[in-house]
């Protein structure tokens, strides 16, 4: 059947439609965000691990000082935190560059370089350990009370 007088219009497609372009840009944006999310997640996990290692190290230092009748020093260094028993390093915790560790005296007025547990807790060099994630500004503190040597973790 031949229809005369009707012309078939052909639409010539050139390029992509707006919706196709928008969809491609959205997919690319989602794909680009995935590695950034993984990096943030990994840094947050590393921060939590460092906090836990320092907290557990301080608790173990207190128990070791009590059990051995000798004092244990906890020193802050540029690389991390050292636990010293009988003038020898028995544990060292490395801290990544995006994490800052500060020791402050019990009055919170000045930064100090070491804390100490004695065998009977009567001469504990008490203070607070501040652990800060520089990228997220998240900060956790661990306080060591004088005399009792009680250790408290604050989120």
State the total domains in the chain. 1
Any domain includes 6: no
What does each C-alpha distance from 153 to 77, 83, 125, 132, 143 come to in angstroms? 21, 18, 17, 13, 7
Any domain includes 8: no
Any domain includes 103: yes
Which of 9-13, 30-34, 65-69, 80-84 shows the lowest per-residue confidence on average (mean pLDDT)? 9-13
- Across all residues in the chain, what is the average pLDDT? 83
pLDDT tens column, 86-136: 889 889 999 998 899 989 987 878 888 888 888 775 557 888 999 999 888
Any domain includes 11: no
Any domain includes 13: no
Domain of residue 24, CATH code: 3.55.40.10
Any domain includes 50: yes
Q: Whole-angstrom Cα distance, residue 128 to residue 85? A: 20
Q: Whole-angstrom Cα distance, residue 52 to residue 140? A: 10
Any domain includes 101: yes
Domain that holds residue 75: 18-154
């Amino acid at each position: 059947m031949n229809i005369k007088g009707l012309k078939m219009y052909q639409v010539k497609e050139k390029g992509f439609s707006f919706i196709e372009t928008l969809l491609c840009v959205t997919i690319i944006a989602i794909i680009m965000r995935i590695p950034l999310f993984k990096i943030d997640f990994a840094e947050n996990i590393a921060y939590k691990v460092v906090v836990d290692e320092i907290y557990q190290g301080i608790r173990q230092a207190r128990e070791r000082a009590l059990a051995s009748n000798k004092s244990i020093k906890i020193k802050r260094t540029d690389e991390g935190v050292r636990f010293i028993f009988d003038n020898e390093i028995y544990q060292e915790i490395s801290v990544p560059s995006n994490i800052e560790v500060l020791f402050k005296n019990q009055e919170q007025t000045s930064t100090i370089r070491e804390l100490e547990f004695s065998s009977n807790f009567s001469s504990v060099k008490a203070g607070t350990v501040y652990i800060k994630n520089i990228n997220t500004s998240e900060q956790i503190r661990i306080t060591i009370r004088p005399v009792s040597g009680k250790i408290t973790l604050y989120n």
